[in-house]
Structure 1
Amino acid sequence: MNPETDRPQLTTREEVMFFDTDCGQVVHNIAYLRMIETCRTRLASKMGMDLASMSETRLFPVVTRTEIDYRRPAKLGDWLLIHGSLGEVGAARFWCHFEVRRESNDDLLITCKQSLALVQMPDGKPVRLPKEWNY
C-alpha cells in the first residue's frame, strides 16, 4: 500500500465570486481558507466524519495550525480546483494537505497544510485518533 495515494483524498471545484475578491478582482486570503474548509469538510465526510455524525457524537476535527504558501493570485471568474488529502497521522493529531489550482491552465496557486485534532464537545477535550487512520 502506498501511503501517498491510498489515503483519503478529494477534489472540490469553486468559482471565484465577487465576494471572494478585493477591488483589484484578486482573491482575498480568507476566501482561500473558506474554499479549503469546504474541501476539508467533504474530505472528513469521506473519512467517516460527516456533518450528521459529528453533530450526533459531538466529536469534531479542530484546526490547530494552518500553513499557506501563496504562489499566484486567482481572479474574479476563475474556476479553481481544491485538492485535499490526509497526510501524516499521529496518536492525537493529523495533517491535511491542500493544493489550489486554476482549472483553465492548471497553475498552482496555493499550497496549504493544516494540523487538526479531534475534540469532544462541549468539554473541548482532545481525544485519540481512530486506529483505522494509521496507514
Structure 2
Amino acid sequence: MNKVPHRQLFEVRDYECDLQGVVNNAVYQHYLEHSRHEFLKTLGLDFAELARRRINLVVVRAELDYRRPLVSGDSFVVLTQMERISKLRFAFRQQIVREGDGVVMLDGLIIGTAINERNRPFLPSELELSLG
C-alpha cells in the first residue's frame, strides 16, 4: 500500500445538500470516485483512456462509514490509498477529513477489479505494476 495517501481538496456546494442541510449520502460516492480517478492519474493510469482500450475498472463492493455530516461551505480533503487484496481485486482505502479541524467525516473501503472486453475480470499490467 502507498505510504503517503493521495490528497484531493474539495468544498461542499449548496446543491449537494439535502433538506436537512447536510451533504446527501449519495454525494459522498461522487467525491470518492473523483478522488480515485485523480489518484490513478498520479500512477500514470487514466480512467478514460483505459475505458477507450476496453479495460474497465469497476467497483464490486463499497463500504462507507459515515462519521459526521459535511455542510455547505465545508472544505475537506479526500485521502486515498490503494492496495492489492487478491489476484484479481484491489482496494481503495479512503477517508474524508474536514479541513481546519481534521475531523474524520467518512471512512470508506472500495473494492474493485478490471473487466476485459470479454467481460472477464483481470488486472492489466499497468495496474499490476502500481500494486507491486
TM-score by length of 1: 0.86
Which 5+ residue runs of structure 2 have no aligned equivalent? none
Deviation at 1:42, TM superposition (A): 1.0
Structure 1 residues 55 and 129, CA, compared in 2 at 3 Å: closer, same or farther?
closer
Which residue is equivalent to 1:125? 120
Question: 1:89 and 1:17, CA in 2 relative to 1: closer, same or farther beyond 3 A?
Answer: same
Q: Which moved more, 1:96-105 or 1:42-51?
A: 42-51
* Structure 1 runs not aligned, ≥5 long: none
Q: Residue type matched to 1:132 in 2? A: L
Count of residue pairs brought into register by the alignment: 130
Match of 2:47 in 1: 51
Shift in Å at residue 53 of structure 1? 2.4
Q: Give the alignment's Cα RMSD to 1 decimal.
A: 1.8
Counterpart of 1:127, as a letter, is F
Structure 1's consecutive aligned runs of 4 or more residues displaced over 6 angstroms after TM superposition are: none
Q: In the alignment, which residue of structure 1 is the partner of 2:57?
A: 61
Question: C-alpha separation between the residues in 2 aligned to 1:66 and 1:34?
Answer: 12
The answer to whether the 8 Å contact 1:99/1:110 transfers is yes
How far 1:4 moved relative to its partner?
A: 4.9
Residues 68-102 of structure 1: per-residue CA shift (max 9 Å, x gap): 11111111110110011102342110000000011
Residue in 1 that maps onto 2:15: 19
Cα displacement (A) at 1:49: 2.2
Q: How does 1:1-135 map to 2 (within 5 A)?
A: 3-5=1-3, 9-121=5-117, 123-130=118-125, 131-135=128-132
1:38 partner letter: H
